Structure 1
Amino acid sequence: MSDAVKSNVIQHVQQWLEDVVIGLNLCPFAAKPNRNKQIKIHVCETKSEEQLLEDIYQQIVILDDTSPEELETTLVAAPNLFEHFDDYNQFLNLVDALIIQTGKEGTYQIASFHPDYCFHGTQPDDAENLTNRSPYPIFHLIREASMEKVLKHYPDPEGIPERNIECVEGLSPEQIRKLFPFLIK
């Protein structure tokens, strides 16, 4: 992958982060670390699931070795893998196993995003799937201690998913095309 292509991937993920995740307030905790440049976007260029798993592990090591004040969270984008959501979804089991095997359960959790994200029990065209749709398959490495800290001061965190669904269900077709151009095929 050329530097220009990698730069485009980072730009697309950053735009999605700012316009969708922060712009629609889908994650009320993302604006501050984004503003403070504490979010890393790592592009995994491989076409190998094994190498992606190694990349995710290396990003966990970097988070371990870096203070949250310097690096709060990492988004690992995998533009060359998981064209199909089912393959991505199955790979999440390996990522969860990695976290357990490395003794990082309770330290990190994974939030998952994919261009064709589809929640269990929904239809692919259901609006609520937009809450987890991204320009590329993305594995979001979240520090649990940081999440617990911000949740203490956030009213009704349990209501976030419902508010997010209401938000995306209220988007017009024009807004969806503008915010999710990567869904137009």
Structure 2
Amino acid sequence: MTHPTTIAAAQAQADTRRWLERAVIGLNLCPFAKAVHVKAQIHYAVYEPAEAADLMDALLAEAKDLAALDAAVRDTTLLIAPNTLADFLDFNDFTARAERRLARAGFDGVFQLASFHPQFQFAGTEADDLGNATNRAPYPTLHLLREDSVSRAVEAFPEAEAIFERNIDTLEALGSGGWAALDVGPGSARP
């Protein structure tokens, strides 16, 4: 039996940065991402184990670290888990548990948790619907966002609720060939 290759932290970070720069910022899927990226306020953390047993603890530790820093230093954290939770439904279940744990740890109203996964699929869509790519990252990724930062960003972008619809239109116009040409999957960037 062949064992899957373990993705090292440097590779996971490089691939995730490439995805952020080419897809998220490049296609303007999140109009708030460019500013924190340019100001180097995004923290990239990697959980390398193949088992998710300690991933919750890693997420809580990242939340504590983020809360301890001023937003001008670290506005947001991406916790990348390249070697675990490959099944989207398992990842989705984990994300729901993580939201509850963050709330119990006192982070309700402090952080929002966004999730990205290579097989992300919105409810009511087919797996190959291109709109799912709005939340598809090279690896399972948990995104801690400061509620205050989200509120400020939404105030600055009066039609924030329209972002999702615009993203679907952008991806449909791009097409699956255009998405593939972005080359934002695992192993796309070489550290």
- Give the shorter-chain TM-score range: over 0.9
Structure 1 stretches lacking a partner, 5+ long:
none
* Superposed CA RMSD: 1.6
Q: TM-score, normalised by structure 2?
A: 0.90
Amino acid across the alignment from 1:119? F
Structure 2 stretches lacking a partner, 5+ long:
1-6, 187-191
Map of 1:152 onto structure 2 = 155
Amino acid across the alignment from 1:8? Q
How big is the shift at 1:180? Answer: 4.6
Map of 1:91 onto structure 2 = 94
1:40-92 residue CA offsets vs partner (Å, 9 max, x unmatched): 11010122323110110010011111000000000000011111101101101
Match of 1:129 among 129, 132, 137: 132
Instruction: Give the count of matched residue pairs.
Output: 181
Q: Are 2:85 and 1:82 equivalent residues in the alignment? A: yes
Structure 1 runs (4+) deviating above 6 angstroms are none
1:11-63 residue CA offsets vs partner (Å, 9 max, x unmatched): 00000000001111111000011001000110101223231101100100111
* SS of residue in 2 equivalent to 1:139: strand
Structure 2: how far apart are the matches of 1:173 and 1:125? 9
Percent identity over the alignment?
36
* SS of residue in 1 equivalent to 2:107: coil
* SS of residue in 2 equivalent to 1:103: helix
Structure 2: how far apart are the matches of 1:107 and 1:181? 30
Structure 2: how far apart are the matches of 1:178 and 1:62? 36
1:119-139 residue CA offsets vs partner (Å, 9 max, x unmatched): 000000011101001100000
Map of 1:24 onto structure 2 = 27
How big is the shift at 1:5? Answer: 2.5
